[in-house]
Copies of this chain bind each other. A is one copy, B any other.
Amino acid sequence: LVGITDTSFTESVRVGNIAKDAGAQALVLAHAPYYPAAPVEVLSYVEHMAKELPLPTFLYNMPSHTKLVFDPKTVRAAADIPGIVGLKDSSANMHYFHQVQELCRDKPDFTLIVGPEELLAETVLLGGHGGVNGGANMKPDLYVALYNAAKAVDMDKIAVLHKKVMDISSGIYTVGKYSSYLRGLKCALSCIGICSDGLAEPFQPFDKDERAIIKQHVEELGLTK
């Protein structure tokens, strides 16, 4: 799933085509216009975009980063557009997510997933389709196991696995004084040996002291390969 966060229509389509050529399976569209847009404008943008994008596309609700909320009615209307296959919601607002679920009851194939891994258990317990979670870059089997436990309503297993997810969240995403999630995740991935901790400007990797803390947490949390 490749994210599209560009503010421009033309550039967004270009990212979609490059993603397809690179082997992506689907796209995640965080509509992020510079000028705040109204629901009817957002919907017409999604309609036009779906015609031009070369892969199945999820809407990406990420108001803290885009300042835009995909209105629940807009999501339901988008579910009728060919090529729009679901919603990834990273608002961390489960009231919003449940509203979308209610409106999409007649569209069971329209996939509703959440971003924040801290909400994966309740999402699946209450009928959501799953998560695209940052922590799964470090330890995918944990998040798959939590998904399966929630799907099976195995509350004892959920309690254990949800606790592990919360420990990763507290241990990896709260180090340093700012941009802790982004820098913590990239630093941990680098400690594990999955990728470098390089970030696009204006973000900088953690310094030596912060990296030492992350490294210790990575080991204590059993995140090493």
Please tell me which stretch of A34-42, A96-104, A162-170 contacts chain B, meaning at least 4 of its Cβ atoms lie within 8 angstroms of it. A34-42
Bound together, the chains give a CA A44 to CA B178 distance in angstroms of: 14
Q: Given A5-B7, A7-B5, A7-B7, are A38 and B201 also a contact pair (CB < 8 Å)?
A: no
A95-139 contact mask (Cβ, 8 Å, vs B): 1 or 0: 000000000000000000000000000000000000000000000
Q: Chain B's nearest CB lies how many Å from the CB of A115?
A: 13
Q: Chain B's nearest CB lies how many Å from the CB of A218?
A: 22
9 example contacts (A-B, Cβ-Cβ < 8 A) are as follows A5-B7, A9-B202, A34-B66, A36-B65, A37-B202, A42-B202, A44-B204, A45-B202, A48-B201
Bound together, the chains give a CA A3 to CA B200 distance in angstroms of: 21
Bound together, the chains give a CA A178 to CA B210 distance in angstroms of: 46
Number of A interface residues in the complex (CB < 8 A): 33
Bound together, the chains give a CA A36 to CA B7 distance in angstroms of: 16
Q: A42-B202, A64-B67 are in contact. List 11 more A-B contacts (CB 8 A).
A: A5-B7, A8-B200, A9-B201, A34-B65, A34-B66, A35-B179, A36-B64, A36-B179, A44-B202, A45-B201, A48-B201
| Interface check A87, CB cutoff 8 A | no
Q: Chain B's nearest CB lies how many Å from the CB of A211?
A: 17
Q: Chain B's nearest CB lies how many Å from the CB of A116?
A: 15
Our pick among B32, B37, B178 for the contact of A203 (Cβ within 8 Å) is B37
Are A31 and B202 touching (Cβ within 8 A)? Answer: yes
Are A38 and B7 touching (Cβ within 8 A)? Answer: no
CB contacts (< 8 Å) of A5 on chain B: these are 7, 34
| Interface check A177, CB cutoff 8 A | yes
Bound together, the chains give a CA A212 to CA B1 distance in angstroms of: 46
Q: Which residues of chain A from 32 to 78 have a CB within 8 Å of any chain B CB?
A: 32-38, 40-42, 44-45, 48, 64-67
Bound together, the chains give a CA A41 to CA B33 distance in angstroms of: 23
Smallest CB-CB A-B distances: 4 pairs? A38-B178, A45-B202, A41-B202, A9-B201
Q: Given A7-B5, A67-B67, are A38 and B200 also a contact pair (CB < 8 Å)?
A: no
| Interface check A142, CB cutoff 8 A | no
